Every structure is written in C-alpha cells, then in structure tokens.
Structure 1
Amino acid sequence: MQPFKGILYKLIAVICFIVMQSLIKAASDHVPPGETVFFRSFFALPVILAWLAWRHELSTGLRVKAPMSHVWRGLIGTTSMGCGFAGLAFLPLPEVTALGYAMPLLTVIFAGMFLHEQVGVYRLSAVGLGLIGVLVVLEPRVTALNGTLKAEEAIGAILVLVGAMSGALAQVHIRNMVRLEATSAIVFWFTMTSTVLSLATIPFGWVMPGGKEALWLIGAGLLGGVGQIFLTACYRFADASVVAPFDYASMIFALGIGYVVFAEVPSGQMLVGAAIIVAAGVFIILRERHLGLQRARAQAAKTP
C-alpha cells in the first residue's frame, strides 16, 4: 500500500470532477441536461478506452457476466447524473456540492434495506445528523420562512436530492455487481449506456452549442474520464477508509470556483449545514473502517 499516492490520486479525481461540474454549470444556461450527459459520457469514452488498453484490460473491460445488471446500473446512474447536472442550472456550485453529500448517507440506509447490511445505532445516528444538515442547507430553497420562495431554486434543490438518492441506489447496486463484474467493465459499460440513454432526450430540446459551450462540454467529458481513472486508481494504493474522507475536499474547491468564476457567496446557513453533513459523513467512514466493511471495489466503480 502507498497511502500518500492513493490520497494524491483521490484529490486529483476530486479536482477533475469539480472542474467538470463547473464547466457543465457554465454551459447549463443554454444546453439542456440530457445533452450535457451525452457530452460528459461520450467524450469520456476515448479516455477510458485508452486507459484500459494501456493497462491491457481492454478485453476485461468489454466482457460482462450479467448484462442486465449493467442496464440497471446505466438507468439509475444516468438518472443521477442528469438530475445533478440539471440542478447546477438553478443553484450555486457549493450548494449543489453540499446537497450531493447526502449520497453516502442514503447509501448506508439503502445498504441496510437492500443488502441487509447491519446498520447499528452509531451509523444510524450519524445518518440522522447528516440528514439534519441536509435540511439546514435545503430550508431556504423550499420554504418561505425567509420571506421569499423561488420555484426555480426549489426545483433545483429537489433535482439534486433526487440525483443523490439515485446515486446512492447506484452505489448499492454496484456493491452487488462487483461480486461478478470487473471494475473496468462496470466503468466502461456505464459510460456506454449513459451515452446511449442520453440520446433519448433529443426530443426534449437539444441545441447546437456555441464555440465556447462546445469546448466546455468536451472538456467536461475529458475531465470526467480522467477523473474516473484517478478515482479507480486511488483504491489500488490505499484503503477506501483512508481516501474516502478526501471526497469532502470538493467543498473547498467548489467554494473557491463558485466565488471566483460565478460570483457565488455562500450563506452562513449553507456553510453550517455543509459542516454538519461532512462531520456525519466522516464519522460513518470511520465507523465503517472500524467494522471492516469492504467498499474499495464499489467505490472504484462509482461515477460521480
């Protein structure tokens, strides 16, 4: 094991994904979410194929043992991606990032429901605390307690939460898939299926992106592919419990990019809610490490 290298790779993956989201947000004013999913997936394919070829895993990446499991993974994961991208058009980048942290909390719940994992009082308490943090972040967007209620922001918050819920379901499904399927196959076929599924949104109003928008979207796809490679690679050098907390470094990058690029100033309430969610997430990671739960292969196949 080389934990420092694993942490470095995880941070590179986090940076790739947050910059990818920033590029998608920049294009989201004119480009519908289904089209952004297509660009994110299609232009990640050559990066992933090149990586598999370089690792001599091309045949492994193309081979499947349970085809329908990949279909379900594609449907759930594409829904998660599309909802998350749609939410970027309505909410600030740091807020989308904070609400996205609900995914590992919901994964604990769904793992208990569908995989019959034992979820003790400590993890349940942490999940409850984290969900309180989600409500703290969410409250200004879905209530009129502050005197205003904007429908677009409420829709954006709901979309991001649906995306987090779908992502949690996908993660639970992946935990089942890794018993039969290679990580490379899960990554490749998800990218393929999300590319194909995104084409079904053409009737809902695709547009011809302008020059800058096209570059942003292509860049998002390439960064998504590079980020996926580093995410998968980091688990070869360090345990999941070591690198998982560095997911939350994305908030630092989101705050910086949101302020500098989009002139987004986070509210104190959003920061408090995000801190509660992060604290709950880190506690769950430490608890899972104590319990010896194995998540590395499932995490490596996850597509943020």
Structure 2
Amino acid sequence: MRHRHHLLPIVAAALGIALFAGMDAAMKAVALAIGAYSGMLWRQLFATAFSAPAYLRSRTAWPGRAALRFHVLRGAVGAAMAVLWFHGLSRLPMAEAIALSFVAPLIALYLAAMLLKERVSRQSMWASLLGLSGMLVLLWARLGTGGERHLDGVAAILASAMLYAWNLILMRQQSQVAGPAEVSFFQSLISGAWLLLALPLAMLVDPALPAIPGNNAHWGLIALSAALAVTSLFLLSWAYGREEAQVLVPIEYSAFLWALALGAIFYADPLRWTTLAGAALIVLGCLLAARRPRHVSPVVEVAV
C-alpha cells in the first residue's frame, strides 16, 4: 500500500528548522557581544526554565539509570558542541558555517559503524567523498580570501560537527529510553551544569568570565534564543513521531536558505559562489547517504 504523507508534520518540521535558524541568528549577536561560553551558559538557564513545565506535566517517574547515563553524557557533548558552534558562528558568515556543519551526518555514518556496528555501504562511501569535496571547496575559498581567514572559526565549526555526529548516535540510543519532554529538559539542565563545572577552566583562559550581558537587548536575545530552541525541539519531535524520516530529512537543508537570508539581513554576510557550490556537494552527499533507512538521519532533535 502506498504511504500517504501528511502535510502538518512537514509544515511543523519546516517551521522547526526555521526557528532553529532564527535562534542561530540571535545567538550570533550574543556570542559577538559576550562570547560563546557566556552566551550558552545564560541561555541554558533560560532553556531549563522554559522546558521544565512540559517535563513536569509529562513526568510519571524519575528517569532510570540508563536514561540518566545518556542525559549526563549527551549533556556534556551538547555543551561542548554548542560553545564551539557559536564561537565559529561568530567568526564566519552564517551560511558558510551551516554548510560546514552539514558534514556531521556523514561523520555519523562511520561513528555508527564503530559504536552501533552498522555496515557502511559503497553508496555511503561515495556520499562521504561528495561531502568531503564540498568541505574542501569551502576551505579552499576561506584560505584564498583576501581578508581575515578566521581559521579558528572553521576549526571550531568542524570540531562542533564531530561532536554533532556523536550527538546523533547518542540521540538514537537515548530515544529508546526517554521521551522528548524529558530529553529537552535534561539536555538544557545538564548542559548548563557542565558549563558551570567548566567555569574554573574557562576563567584560566579569560578571568572575566562569565561575562554578563550589558544591556536589556542582549538579555532579550538570550531569552528569545532559548524559547526558539525549545519550541523548535518540540516541533521536530512532534513531526518525527508522525511522518517518515525519509520524507522529513530533506527539510533539514532549508536551514542553509534561512542562514543566507538572516545572515544577509542582520549581518550583511557576503554570498560567494564557493559557499553555494560547497553546500550543494555536501547536501548531495548527505541525501545520497540518507537513502538507506539503516543509516543515522541527519536531522537532529536537540537544540544547540
């Protein structure tokens, strides 16, 4: 029987991706003003407060040992991933950062092979080469720029993508033992706790940390980014519970279009042909890999 696709989950997923892009735009301004670490620390406090009511309403019992183990591990990975991401985002145009981050699903293929014992097919290997070629185009353009290269931003985005790929594996394992409201709440709470634990180390690098937003506009952007992240997470979770992943996966790449638009509007980001070419190659590689249902989906159900 032919599967009938429903419009509402598709609309919900598209809206969720758009809200994530808006969150990135807001957090870029925060990271530029007070730094990625401080911005994430304050944002996680807001996100915990925003996600707590839904979790408390849905909670039937305290999470078991298996769920807590994944919450703690994924919270640590998510905290490091997000700080690296927002540092890179503060150094690069939004569209270029998004394009580089798209290599994460291809990295996840090989992590899935190591951690989940999944087989990497020949098709997936070709997909990986496409993604690698797209990344090399973006790096070639960055190295050839006449202005500041901001290679620390490139390194931060790629390191974040590595953690993002591990996060995909953890998400797949975590989804077996916890619901979306629980995941959202504990992800915010435990990521914030890990950031607090890392504060002494961060202060060795910068004794002025944690930086406090200097005006109400920055506090408003932090609150807005937390609200957008929590809302987007719930929309994506709802959509993926009601529609096949193969239908919703391509919508993830609409984030690139949102990044182009928001970067141009709010940050006057330039548009280069190399950004379009690199993103196209990476997206083609991800779509080729996603054709096999046994692979990890490139759509992430967690806010960074």
How far apart, in 2, do the equivalents of 1:138 and 1:94 lie?
14
How far apart, in 2, do the equivalents of 1:84 and 1:29 lie?
13
- State the shift of 1:300 in Å: 6.7
TM, length-normalised to structure 2: 0.88
Number of the residue aligned with 1:194: 191
Number of the residue aligned with 2:166: 169
SS in structure 2 of the partner of residue 44 of structure 1? helix
Residues 81 and 57 from structure 1, CA distance in 2 versus in 1: closer, same or farther, beyond 3 angstroms? Answer: same
Q: How does 1:48-87 map to 2 (within 5 A)?
A: 48-53=51-56, 56-59=57-60, 62-66=62-66, 67-87=68-88
1:207 counterpart = 2:211:
yes
Number of the residue aligned with 1:34: 37
How far apart, in 2, do the equivalents of 1:74 and 1:302 lie?
10
- State the shift of 1:100 in Å: 1.1
For the 8 Å contact 1:80–1:163, the answer to whether it is kept is: yes
Number of the residue aligned with 1:224: 229
How far apart, in 2, do the equivalents of 1:7 and 1:28 lie?
31
Name segments (4+ residues, structure 1) moved above 4 Å: 298-301
- State the shift of 1:149 in Å: 6.9
1:107 counterpart = 2:112:
no
1:277 counterpart = 2:292:
no
Residues 77-113 of structure 1: CA deviation (Å, up to 9, x unaligned): 1111110011111101111111111111111111112
Unaligned runs of 5+ in 2: none
- The one-letter amino acid paired with 1:15 is A
Unaligned runs of 5+ in 1: none
For the 8 Å contact 2:81–2:160, the answer to whether it is kept is: yes
1:15 counterpart = 2:18:
yes
- State the shift of 1:76 in Å: 1.1
How far apart, in 1, do the equivalents of 2:54 and 2:246 lie?
25
Residues 119 and 260 from structure 1, CA distance in 2 versus in 1: closer, same or farther, beyond 3 angstroms? Answer: same
How far apart, in 1, do the equivalents of 2:92 and 2:85 lie?
10
- The one-letter amino acid paired with 1:229 is F
For the 8 Å contact 2:180–2:234, the answer to whether it is kept is: no
- State the shift of 1:2 in Å: 5.6
Residues 283 and 186 from structure 1, CA distance in 2 versus in 1: closer, same or farther, beyond 3 angstroms? Answer: same
For the 8 Å contact 1:57–1:184, the answer to whether it is kept is: yes
How far apart, in 2, do the equivalents of 1:149 and 1:273 lie?
20
SS in structure 2 of the partner of residue 15 of structure 1? helix
How far apart, in 2, do the equivalents of 1:51 and 1:4 lie?
25
Size of the aligned set, in residue pairs, is 292
Number of the residue aligned with 1:180: 177
How far apart, in 1, do the equivalents of 2:238 and 2:8 lie?
10
Identity among equivalent positions (%) equals 23
For the 8 Å contact 1:25–1:88, the answer to whether it is kept is: yes
- The one-letter amino acid paired with 1:195 is G
How far apart, in 1, do the equivalents of 2:230 and 2:26 lie?
14
Number of the residue aligned with 1:150: 148
SS in structure 2 of the partner of residue 30 of structure 1? helix
How far apart, in 2, do the equivalents of 1:5 and 1:52 lie?
24
SS in structure 2 of the partner of residue 206 of structure 1? coil
How far apart, in 2, do the equivalents of 1:113 and 1:219 lie?
38
- Comparing 156-165 with 181-190, which one deviates more in the overlay? 181-190
Residues 186-205 of structure 1: CA deviation (Å, up to 9, x unaligned): 33211111111222336342
- The one-letter amino acid paired with 1:47 is F
SS in structure 2 of the partner of residue 282 of structure 1? helix
Residues 59 and 139 from structure 1, CA distance in 2 versus in 1: closer, same or farther, beyond 3 angstroms? Answer: farther
- State the shift of 1:299 in Å: 5.5
TM, length-normalised to structure 1: 0.88
For the 8 Å contact 1:48–1:229, the answer to whether it is kept is: no
For the 8 Å contact 1:235–1:300, the answer to whether it is kept is: no
For the 8 Å contact 1:47–1:226, the answer to whether it is kept is: no
Residues 257-293 of structure 1: CA deviation (Å, up to 9, x unaligned): 11111111221111100111111112222x223xxx3
Number of the residue aligned with 2:266: 261
- The one-letter amino acid paired with 1:284 is A
RMSD: 2.2
SS in structure 2 of the partner of residue 180 of structure 1? coil
How far apart, in 1, do the equivalents of 2:55 and 2:70 lie?
21
